[in-house]
Amino acid sequence: MAFYSVKFPSRRFARLFATAAVALTLLANCVSNDMSVFSSKPVMLDPVENPGSWVIGSYPGWVQKNLTPMEVPYEHFTHIMHFAMYPTDDGRLDIGDIFTDRNADKAVEAAHAFNTPIILVVGGEGEGHHFVGATNESNLPSFVDAIVNRLQQHGYDGVSIDWEESVVDTQLINLMRELHTAFDALPVRPLLMVDIMTNYVKSKTAAAVEPYVDTLNIMSYYQYNKIENEYNYYRRAGVPAEKVIMGVGVFPGADDLSPNRLLTKMQYARSKNFRGTELWSFEFTDWDSEIIQQYNSLRW
């Protein structure tokens, strides 16, 4: 499968104009694909007890002033992604979109008050060239230490690496291996995740980092990178379905704004037994909106 060459709309640009954003994650362990053809209303599913399912919501730091950590509807989610701190060229970790240490502390405190794990995202769109510097041979040890120190300082339950441009395959593999080793040495091992997308991360690179991570999060947001194509590309390299998190986007330009497409993707996640789904993001979300109602009725 060839890499797509289309230039996707910027998520940072989209956040300025988004009118609704909902994080949705669906998990599937041996659940029958019994949904009827989508009509004008979402199809109701029988509730299914699946304690292994992950439903991940993305909480960008720039939303935190308008949607405070105590106002997040944690009942919708099993995990929260806190977005994002940035790598620096010399192997440090900048506070980035989270803005202040206190914001990080507040987000962690609130999530833990609701017994919800919260994951620190490192990176994001436009940060690729900084990853190149941060993960070179001389800077990698200090960068790994910086990530571990931040995780422990604020009490995050894990880290997700979001390297989207200028990916240096060997350096991404080395980063994930060294983080895995560092996490194994901690008293309680944090979760380790990596974002992947056919435009940025080669299948052989994803397969090489797979042994080191808990999940590989496919950023399947657009009609040009449908989850069916994305997953098939990585599956052929050996990425297992049980480690896949399927991305769901509800920002302007996202393919998932169509209810019919959303249903199709959820059925696909179920049929492949993915670990779960992750929605981008909480910005400008109306929690009483139709999309949230669809989410609640279709989730299992």
CA angle 58, 62, 65 (to 5 degrees): 105
Please state the domain extents for the chain: 12-35+48-298
Of all helices (H) and strands (E), which one includes residue 108? helix 101-113
Angle of the 290-298 helix axis to the 259-272 helix axis, nearest 10: 20
| Phi and psi torsions of 93, nearest 5° | -130, 110
Contacts of 104 (CB under 8 A, 6+ apart): 82, 95, 98, 120, 150, 154, 156
Residue written as token pair 């769901």: 248
Range 12-35+48-298: architecture per CATH: Alpha-Beta Barrel (3.20)
The Cα–Cα gap between 228 and 241 comes to 12
CA 165 to chain centre: 16
CA distance 91 to 143: 4
Note whether 55 and 77 are within 8 A (CB).
Answer: yes
- Write down the pLDDT at residue 294: 63
* Cα distance between residue 56 and residue 54, in whole Å: 6
10-residue mean pLDDT profile of the chain (300 residues): values are 33 38 35 32 38 85 96 92 98 98 98 98 98 98 98 98 98 98 98 98 98 98 95 98 92 83 86 91 75 60
pLDDT of residue 256: 85
pTM score: 0.83
Provide the pairing of β-strand 79-87 with 93-94: antiparallel
Can the peptide bond before residue 23 be classed as cis, meaning omega within 30 degrees of 0?
A: no
- Residue 249: per-residue pLDDT: 87
